[in-house]
Amino acid sequence: MKLDFRQRLKQGPILCDGAMGTLLDLYEYTELPHELNNVKHPDIVERIHREYVAAGAEIIQTNTFSCNRFRLAHFHLEHQLELLNRTGVEIAKRAAGTNVYVAGSVGPTGKLLEPIGKLKAAEARDAFKKQIEILLAAGIDVIMLETFVSLHELDLALEAAKAVAGLPDYAGQAGSVPIIAQKAFPEDGSILSGSFPIEVAEHLIGKGADVVGANCTVGPQRMFSIIRSMYKEGVYLSAQPAAGIPTLLNGRSIYHTTPAYLAQYAKELLEAGVTLIGACCGSTPAHIREMKNVLEEFKQRSPEIRMHEPHPKRKTPAAQHQREEIVRAHVDHRSRFAKNLGKKFLTSVELDIPRGLDVSSILDGAAYLHRFAVDAVNITDGARARLRVSSIALSQMVQQHIGIEAMVHLATRDRNMIGLQAELLGAHALGLRNMLFITGDPTSIGDYPQATSVFDIDSVGLIRAAASMNKGHDLLGNSIEQSTSFFIACAVNASADNMELEIEKLRRKADAGAHLVYTQPIYEIKTLEALLEHTQKLNLPVMLGLLPLRGAKHAEFLHNEIPGMSIPSYIREQFRNAGEKASALGIEITVKFLDEAKALVAGAYLMPPFKKYEMVPQILEGAGIKS
């Protein structure tokens, strides 16, 4: 008979099993989610459990990792929540017998939590609670929270587990069901060698976990770095590394780490203080069998678990210190545009990005505007979902060759959240500081209607990512070693059909970390004043969007065919009667409006149509704005 799990922990290292999905794939039960095999092929799931028990595992994990309502809903299986979890436990218990512990596997929701995503914390916590209730009612010995990238989400799962595990219906002899909480760390040496792992361990112990550790994502060598940094006297640690980094073959992940190699690092992990050891993705019973041999040798050789002292910090050579100081000075340098905000009336002009590789018109336009002391040029990112040169590449060319600063537009449509953050790091490395984040137009209206619109995050999420980088972290709180110095702009449509919704989104942009707001083109002072009532409360300075009209057709096109554009009827009537003087009328209306509005805003954002950049100095001088 097995001991109470907490008592068993006190006796020394305990071996957990390996991957379930990897074995199901190897046996060609590849239908997703893997948990569906609990009801379709329970015999093969039980066979895998028994193979791990035969290999020496003292803990087996239920095939329920993805059995929360959000992950199941992705496969339209939310109605089988109770069935899949319950049968997963029943199968594991049959294989475990009386000597092996059954751990109820609980994984993340697979969705981003607010404020990055749309999932509310209470919804996630409720989903975890429901799954854990089913697992406990079915008779698990321990709760296994695993592969949580987000520490916030792991907190929610741990809170749910604590709320349920101590209830009389489920409480064991020790008063509650034990909880193992494992975070998945990124493959990042700077994080793994820093203080983050021990901070995670202390945080989770403080939240009530019995065992804390790491699993998945990283291979055995990186796992050793994590555990060495995570060690704290009196804390039970767990480690379940993946079998290296996989390669894809015909859509399947193929792992290459041998059982002998994984066992070698199992020895290192045990010596580093791990109590619960196992393996994750890519591992098989063969890996666990080799680890079992190492574990037995370790017990015979060393009854007392030996701990490694943390490696001393390496001394940094003087030259490296000097280089790091130079990098820090570069990173902390704000843009001229940011420094001038509130000190002068700022001017920014949108350049018309051509198709193809010939960007001479952009450089010529930027040079012309630079001569008139325009503060920045705006470089759009695939506006209207049309193929254009990268806004980051073009902005760097403009700044390098012309000397005028760029306001770089970046849309969330075309890249996932990894790619977007990579673009931000690349932009910063190239010296770009001014960023305007937009969600972007759907691909259905552009050059490639069959292309995929990504939208992992919206403009609010990208603002939050840049603001996090300004504090030295990525979107999920992982260190990026040094802080960036982005000046973050966002957009607002002062003529939106649903202004209440538009202002609410603007509030979220401000809360996420925006420094400045650019408006879509505005043509009436009353529209601007209504917007300013909200922006002033949000402490967001405004760049007033101005698009000079070129004629009646231009005005009618914008008003009737472009979403978010509203040209007052009296202005459209003026253009219908203007004849050949229409172009001059467009400049006259813009000058008059800017002169009236300039005292209310931080600057002007001009969008001259058809590359008519010569109208910019006319408008600015006409409105009495000096460079």
Task: Give span(s): CATH 3.20.20.330, the chain.
Answer: 5-301
pLDDT band at 609 (very low <50, low <70, confident <90, very high): very high
Which of residues 173 and 104 earns the better pLDDT score?
A: 104
Both tokens of residue 427?
């932009």
Summarised one tens digit per residue, pLDDT across range 297-306 is: 998 876 544 4
Summarised one tens digit per residue, pLDDT across range 365-381 is: 999 999 999 999 999 99
> What is residue 553's three-state secondary structure?
helix
Both tokens of residue 559?
């008003």
- DSSP-assigned letters across all residues of 449-465: TTSPP--SS-HHHHHHH
pLDDT band at 173 (very low <50, low <70, confident <90, very high): very low
pLDDT above 60 for 202: yes
CA distance 35 to 405: 54
> What is residue 276's three-state secondary structure?
strand
pLDDT above 80 for 315: no
Task: Give span(s): CATH 3.20.20.220, the chain.
Answer: 326-622
Number of residues assigned to the chain: 627
CA distance 183 to 200: 8
pLDDT band at 3 (very low <50, low <70, confident <90, very high): very high
What's the pLDDT score for residue 171? 57
Percent of residues, the chain, with pLDDT higher than 70: 92
Average pLDDT, the chain: 90
Summarised one tens digit per residue, pLDDT across range 412-451 is: 999 999 999 999 999 999 999 999 999 988 787 778 888 8
**CATH of the structural domain 326-622, one choice from 3.20.20.220, 3.90.1150.10, 2.40.110.10, 3.40.630.30:** 3.20.20.220
Both tokens of residue 443?
């691909």
What's the pLDDT score for residue 331? 44
What's the pLDDT score for residue 561? 83
Handedness of CA 165, 166, 167, 170 (dihedral sign): positive
- E runs forming strands in 129-286: 142-148, 179-183, 211-215, 236-240, 247-249, 252-254, 274-277
Summarised one tens digit per residue, pLDDT across range 143-169 is: 999 999 899 999 999 999 999 987 766
> What is residue 246's three-state secondary structure?
coil
Q: Which CATH architecture has domain 5-301?
A: Alpha-Beta Barrel (3.20)
Given a contact cutoff of 8 angstroms between Cβ atoms, the answer to whether 215 and 241 are in contact is yes
pLDDT band at 327 (very low <50, low <70, confident <90, very high): very low
CA distance 459 to 440: 8
What's the pLDDT score for residue 138? 97
Query: The pTM is what?
Result: 0.75
- In this structure, of 63-67, 116-120, 130-134, the range with the lowest mean pLDDT score is 116-120
Q: Please give the average per-residue pLDDT across 385-390, as a whole number.
A: 88
